[in-house]
Amino acid sequence: MSTDIQALQAVLRTFASDREWEQFHSPKNLATALSVEAAELLEHFQWLTEEQSRSLPDVKRDAVAEEVADVFLYLLQLSDKLGIDPLDAARKKLQLNALKYPVERAKGTSKKYSEL
C-alpha cells in the first residue's frame, strides 16, 4: 500500500480517536456516510448542462473539491476498517473492467458489458 495512503489513514484514525468517534465508525456507518457525501457531490451538478459541468466557476469547483475530499476520506476510513488496500482494489478492478470491456467491443459505446 502507498505510504501516502497509510499516512492519511493514520491521520484519520487519530482525528477520530481524539474526538472519540471510533464508536460511530462501523463499516456500515462509514459506507452510509460515504453514500451521503457522494450525493452531496452530485448535488453540485444537479440541473447543470453537460457543458456547464465541464467548466465550473472557481467557487463551484472549490466546493466540489471539498465534497471529493469528503468522499475520499470516508472511503479511506472504510478501507482501513476492513483491511482493504484501496489502490490494490482499484488496480484489480481495472483489470476486471478491461476483461469486461475489451476495446474492440466497448470503444465509443456506453453499453453495459452484458450488452456488448
Residues 78-109 have pLDDT tens digits of: 999 999 999 999 999 999 999 999 999 999 99
Confidence of residue 17 (pLDDT cuts 50, 70, 90): very high
> What confidence tens digit (pLDDT) does each residue in 27-77 have?
999 999 999 999 999 999 999 999 999 999 999 999 999 999 999 999 999
Considering its fold, how many domains does the chain have in total? 2
Same domain, 59 and 14: yes
Q: Which three cell numbers stand for residue 24?
A: 460511530
Same domain, 80 and 106: no
Same domain, 76 and 54: yes
Instruction: Answer for the pair 78, 34: CB distance below 8 angstroms, yes or no.
Output: yes
Q: Give me the sign of the Cα torsion angle 96, 70, 31, 16.
A: positive
Domain extent, residue 59, equals: 3-84
Confidence of residue 1 (pLDDT cuts 50, 70, 90): confident
Confidence of residue 2 (pLDDT cuts 50, 70, 90): confident
Q: How many CA atoms lie within 13 A of 77 on its CB side?
A: 26
Same domain, 78 and 116: no
Same domain, 95 and 79: no
Same domain, 79 and 114: no
Same domain, 78 and 91: no
pTM, 2 dp: 0.90
Same domain, 55 and 90: no
Q: So what's the pLDDT on residue 108?
A: 94
Write down the mean pLDDT value for the chain: 96
